Amino acid sequence: MKFSRRFTFAIAIFSLLFAGACSRSVTRVDPNATIDISGRWNDTDSKQVSKDMISDVMSRPWLPNYENANNKKPVVIVGGVINKSHEHIEAETFIKDIEREFINSGKVRVVENDQFREQIRAEQQSQQANATEETQKKIAQELGADFIMFGTINSTVDELGKEKVVNYKINLELADLESTEKVWIGDKEIKKYIKN
């Protein structure tokens, strides 16, 4: 009987200890806080790179040259950003960060990329059959882009023992859609030292 009680008591204690060890704590933090747990590419990297690169592209001669020649803001489309790095990076999040910085600059107009244009066109077609004539949006009234931005995210890893250095290099280009002339090329690097 004593053995049975001791065994039951031991099981109860073990269960409490195990449950305590497996508990998880979640704390809400400021979305703008820089938190880097894994050392991999994260939201802070995406926001910082897009901000710095758009600041650079907006300060270059292509913009005043276009405005002086055309007397209007250029229309830009952000095309593909290809992830060639060693890890999974959600390029769509980075593209949205770039679009936000472009729009917030107030110096250019931004149009949807091909992925979302198809959804808009489908809605326009639907309106032709289903919306009242006064509220239907006209077809073939899209704003054509003057420039397209595209690029790549690359990385290199140098690792020895418990130490690792990850270097991300982001290359972006802006090209004139009519002439295909490259009017700007920019790059940004982020280097992370990780020690386990």
The tens digit of pLDDT for each residue in 93-121 reads 899 999 999 999 999 999 998 888 889 88
CA angle (31, 190, 78) in 5-degree steps: 70
Q: How far apart are CA 11 and CA 54, in angstroms?
A: 60
* Confidence label for 10 from pLDDT (cuts 50, 70 and 90): low
Is residue 23 a part of any domain in this protein? no
pTM score of the predicted model: 0.80
Is residue 99 a part of any domain in this protein? yes
The two tokens of residue 140 are 């073939």
For residue range 115-166, list pLDDT tens digits in order.
Answer: 888 898 889 999 999 999 999 998 888 999 999 999 999 999 999 999 999 9
Q: Quote the domain boundaries for residue 156.
A: 40-128+141-195
Which CATH number do you get for residue 63? 3.40.50
Is residue 136 a part of any domain in this protein? no
Is residue 169 a part of any domain in this protein? yes
Is residue 25 a part of any domain in this protein? no
Report the domain count for the chain: 1
Which pLDDT score, from 0 to 100, does residue 184 have?
98
